[in-house]
Amino acid sequence: LHSDERAADDGIPVADLTDAGLTHTPIQQSMDLARMHGPVFKRKFGERETLFLSSLDLVTEVADESRFSKGVSVVLENVREFAGDGLFTAYNDEPNWAKAHEVLMPAFALGSMRTYHPAMLKVARRVMAAWDRRVADGTPVQVAEDMTRMTLDTIGLAGFGFDFESFSRGDSSHPFVEAMVRCLEWSMTKFSRDPDADHSAADAAFQADADYLASVVDEVIAARTASGESGDDDLLGLMLGARGQEDGAAADGPTLDLANIRNQVITFLIAGHETTSGALSFTLYHLLKDPLALRMVQREADELWGDQADPDPSFEDIGRLPFTRQVLNEALRLWPTAAAFTRQAHEDTLLGGRYPVKAGELVTVLTPMLHRDPAWGDNPELFDPSRFSPEAEAARSPHAYKPFGTGERACIGRQFALHEATMLLALLAHRYRLIDHGDYRLRIKETLTLKPDGFTLTLAARTPAD
Ligand code: HEM
């Protein structure tokens, strides 16, 4: 890492990365900078400077909705090229944000997870069928790839009644995933490009991918319209139900136009699966490396399902897996898979009484380093699910843990992700022994979100003695 440090007039260290070239690991690079310079620093890239924060006291300030709101970062500006004014990338004052938020909020309340539970279970069974085959032939599973298949199928089925059938494609992914990953990579690296080079080929390839994503979404919408079913209570049903009347007649609530519905579907297909897949993969990594935690997750699942070969978890069962949830929370502490979020100042202000921020200026919270703040104790790198016991949580500031962002623009899909992931983890731990056949060392791949890279494990069926 090349970093020419200089302190700016305001005393904030500046890492000039202009000559460091394009990076495929901007989050890990920023974590290194925070370790070098402390929890407040600027990164300079060409003409642009970004202020990064990661201490609990300063994050508490920028989480104050009377002083700051969500900011659309340079990277999210690039994501807007293919997700438009979808919920994730909309500006705060764009009318479509408030409309879509109102239409979709009921679909994400905790009680609504009951509606999605059967689809989530159906896909969890696909994972187990695929993993049973690995047990039989002794070959390793590619964890992040399978978790991505699982979360894509889940959001497709639960949200839109559309089946990506990701487990029937051999070792390849659905082309939607491949195009989407390339689009995300394009948006992540575009801002650090050499301004003098010719990027027309990369931009044309991006446009082709973005067009393909839109065509898949049109297919999803057409399949629903052709089926004649309203699917009232899934995401697509709610959005189509709130579609503006062609004849201009007034509708009861807010209405969404078709272009916006398309942006929302792309947004949900992306936001709804990449992050959850990474969260599951990191959790499995930590369970593999921490036999005691794995044992406790297994015990919790065994208490619910005994030695049933094919348990049938009820919706309520998922609320009865508190330790499994703690393990997931702890994995998301160390590796929050959407690892940064941006805030925008309403007015000129001073952070911590000394760092000036101008009205409209963007500041970026580096979540993995917030999650290693001294508030987490002396050994923040240590994986320790007891950090999320009810007593420990009650004793800690709510601003110390932000894997789902903050405030009005925090993650709408949090309960969805937690229900889906908790159920799958418990089912997998109930069914398999996890074997670290290659002594895996964690490497992290960044495609805007974080994932363990090249992570494989082998499996054995659990016996009553295990
Ligand atoms: C927003 C993380 C799962 C849909 C966010 C934000 C974060 C986040 C950090 C705030 C971004 C910002 O402030 O710029 C995560 C993580 C997940 C997850 C870590 C899994 C472990 C999901 C799922 C869905 C979803 C399953 C949909 C089914 C969204 C949407 C927004 C959002 C639509 C934008 C909300 C708005 O601005 O109104 N997520 N997310 N996410 N997330 Fe998630």
Q: Cα(190)–Cα(195) distance, rounded to whole angstroms?
A: 10
Ligand 1 centroid distance, CA of 319 (Å): 21
Query: Is residue 411 among the annotated active site residues?
Result: yes
The bridge status of strand 444-447 relative to strand 449-452 is antiparallel
User: Could you give the angle at which helices 291-305 and 322-334 cross, rounded to 10 degrees?
Assistant: 150
Ligand 1 centroid distance, CA of 411 (Å): 4
Ligand 1 centroid distance, CA of 240 (Å): 22
Give 152's Cβ-side CA count (13 Å radius): 22
| 233 exposure class (CB count in 10 Å sphere: 0-12, 13-18, 19+) | middle
55: three-class secondary structure by DSSP: coil
Q: Which of 404, 406, 416, 455 is catalytic?
A: 404
Residue 459 tokens read as 């499996």
The ligand 1 atom nearest the CA atom of 408: 38
Query: Is residue 183 among the annotated active site residues?
Result: no
Q: Which of 282, 411, 422, 449 is catalytic?
A: 411
- Binding-site residue positions: 411
Ligand 1 centroid distance, CA of 412 (Å): 6
Ligand 1 centroid distance, CA of 409 (Å): 9
Per-residue model confidence (pLDDT) at position 4: 56
Per-residue model confidence (pLDDT) at position 18: 65
| 246 exposure class (CB count in 10 Å sphere: 0-12, 13-18, 19+) | exposed
Strands (E), 189-249: none
The ligand 1 atom nearest the CA atom of 449: 19
Instruction: Please check whether residue 164 is in contact with residue 176, taking contact to mean a CB–CB distance below 8 angstroms.
Output: yes
Residues 6+ apart with CB under 8 A from 383: 286, 289, 290, 293, 330, 331, 334
Instruction: Please check whether residue 335 is in contact with residue 368, taking contact to mean a CB–CB distance below 8 angstroms.
Output: yes
Nearest alpha carbon to residue 328 among 276, 291, 270, 378:
276
Per-residue model confidence (pLDDT) at position 367: 98
CA 65-71-74 angle, 5° bins: 165
Distances (CA, A) of 165 to 44, 52, 172, 174, 451: 44, 40, 12, 8, 22
Per-residue model confidence (pLDDT) at position 250: 46
Nearest alpha carbon to residue 41 among 333, 361, 337, 365:
365
Convert the pLDDT of each residue in 15-33 to its tens digit.
877 666 556 888 999 999 9
The ligand 1 site (C-beta within 6 Å) comprises 70, 87-88, 101, 155, 267-268, 271-272, 275-276, 279, 336-338, 341, 403-405, 409-413, 416-417
Q: Cα(239)–Cα(221) distance, rounded to whole angstroms?
A: 11
Give, for ligand 1, the residue of 80, 187, 404, 422 to mutate: max count of ligand atoms closer than 8 Å to Cβ: 404
DSSP states along 299-368: HHHHHHHTT-SS----TGGGGG-HHHHHHHHHHHHH--SS-EEEEEESS-EEETTTEEE-TT-EEEEEHH
Instruction: Please check whether residue 128 is in contact with residue 156, taking contact to mean a CB–CB distance below 8 angstroms.
Output: no
ipTM entry: 0.99
Per-residue model confidence (pLDDT) at position 1: 44
Counting as low any pLDDT under 70, the low residues of the chain are 1-9, 18-23, 230-232, 243-252
Residue 354 tokens read as 């000394």
Query: Is residue 275 among the annotated active site residues?
Result: yes
Convert the pLDDT of each residue in 46-99 to its tens digit.
777 889 999 999 999 999 999 999 999 988 999 999 999 999 999 999 999 999
Strands (E), 181-235: none
